[in-house]
Amino acid sequence: MPTIIDGKKISTDIKAEIKSQVDGMKANGQRAPHLAIIIVGDDGASHTYVNGKINACKAVGFDYTLLQFAATISEEKLLKHVEQLNADEDIDGFIVQLPLPDHISVDKVTDAIIPEKDVDGFANENFGSIVSDNQLLMPATPYGIMELLKRYDIDTEGKHAVIVGASRLVGAPLSMMLSHDGRATVTTCQKYTVDLAKHTKEADILVVAVGKPGLISADMVKEGAVVIDVGTTRVADDTRKSGYRLSGDVEFEEVSKKVSHITPVPGGVGPMTIASLMINTLRAAKAKL
């Protein structure tokens, strides 16, 4: 039987550790860390994610500010709000919930966030610090994955890690983390990769972050591998009250029969992204001190 990597439990453990530190800060007369969240439009999934982040702030004792704007807000006005948060000394870190409406450039908005408040870890300075000895605020989802591997005592040194998905949000930074901190040999695959199965079958650690349900089947996975499924896609399901279910990129039932460790969807990587956001916010607040 494989070990099911319980991201929800690890996330809860991390939040308890953070709360203990926040309680200590308050006892020493310091204020609690303060996270601001910008959300644009009425996307249901985005609001669900934001609510999760607000609940996490409450759980760890952070202050938080939620800024909600209509989908019609101009790029110029949104950038002005970003500038205001950059200048606000009471805000330790902030995020802009993605996706944004088509008329707003994601790159312009995320690049406008100053690195020391970029708790999503998207800024170029934070991204580049991954391979330095002075790491700053780390990209949240990849950092969460590394924390899962660490807390489940999964050795990465000298292992062959294969990442399917080369996005700047997950695949690219994770490849750097696994290579630099994890000392693994890393292969990164993408939509242009020829014969994907040839690469995935060689992986000691397989990470899939594409957003294509059922992409990875059992015959594409090495016996005894560690499988991290980052994919989270809403799939129609009439048997659910919500009308949908969340599906990963890996065929869980079949793949789980031949691997040593595997993350479920939901309950695997997802909770760790929010936990990493809380870690970054705490680090940003402490850096001010």
Question: Are 144 and 260 found together in one domain?
Answer: yes
Q: Which residues are catalytic?
A: 53, 97, 120
Per-residue pLDDT tens digits for 174-212: 999 999 999 999 999 998 999 999 999 999 999 999 999
210 belongs to a structural domain: yes
Give the span between the Cα atoms of 272 and 263, in whole angstroms: 11
15 belongs to a structural domain: no
275 belongs to a structural domain: no
243 falls in which pLDDT band (50, 70, 90)? confident
225 belongs to a structural domain: yes
Question: Are 84 and 175 found together in one domain?
Answer: no
pLDDT at 21 over 90: yes
Number of domains within the chain: 2
pLDDT at 239: 82
What average pLDDT is seen over the chain? 95
Residue 83's CATH number: 3.40.50.10860
Residue 228's CATH number: 3.40.50.720
Per-residue pLDDT tens digits for 23-76: 999 999 999 999 999 999 998 888 989 999 999 999 999 999 999 999 999 999
**Which strands form 226-229's sheet, in the order they lie side by side?**
3-4, 261-262, 226-229, 205-208, 160-164, 185-189
Question: Are 149 and 111 found together in one domain?
Answer: no
Q: Could you tell me the two tokens for 74? A: 């101009």
Question: Are 168 and 62 found together in one domain?
Answer: no
Question: Are 195 and 97 found together in one domain?
Answer: no
Task: Give the length of the chain.
Answer: 289
In this structure, the strands spanning 34-40 and 3-4 are unpaired
Return the percentage of the chain with pLDDT > 90, whole number. 87
pLDDT at 235 over 90: no
Least confident span in 83-87, 143-147, 211-215? 211-215
Q: Of 83, 116, 149, which closes a domain?
A: 116
Q: Give the residue carrying structure tokens 């312009």.
A: 108
247 belongs to a structural domain: yes
Question: Are 147 and 47 found together in one domain?
Answer: no
Per-residue pLDDT tens digits for 263-279: 999 999 999 999 999 99
pLDDT at 244 over 90: no
84 belongs to a structural domain: yes
pLDDT at 43: 86
pLDDT at 93: 97
Q: Which range of residues forms the domain containing residue 246?
A: 140-270
Using alpha carbons only, give the angle 26, 32, 35 rounded to the nearest 5 degrees.
170
pLDDT at 161: 98
Give the span between the Cα atoms of 98 and 33, in whole angstroms: 23
Q: Give the residue carrying structure tokens 């997950």.
A: 170
Give the span between the Cα atoms of 134 and 286, in whole angstroms: 15
pLDDT at 106: 93
88 falls in which pLDDT band (50, 70, 90)? very high
283 belongs to a structural domain: no
pLDDT at 17: 98
Question: Are 110 and 168 found together in one domain?
Answer: no
11 belongs to a structural domain: no
Mean pLDDT to the nearest integer, 115-132:
92
Question: Are 105 and 153 found together in one domain?
Answer: no
Question: Are 105 and 221 found together in one domain?
Answer: no
Phi, psi of 196 (to 5 degrees): -55, -40
Question: Are 148 and 99 found together in one domain?
Answer: no
pLDDT at 238 over 90: no
Q: Could you tell me the two tokens for 22? A: 């926040």
Question: Are 145 and 263 found together in one domain?
Answer: yes
Q: Of 116, 132, 160, which closes a domain?
A: 116
Question: Are 157 and 206 found together in one domain?
Answer: yes
Nearest to 4 by CA among 256, 275, 269, 276: 256
Q: Of 79, 100, 116, which closes a domain?
A: 116
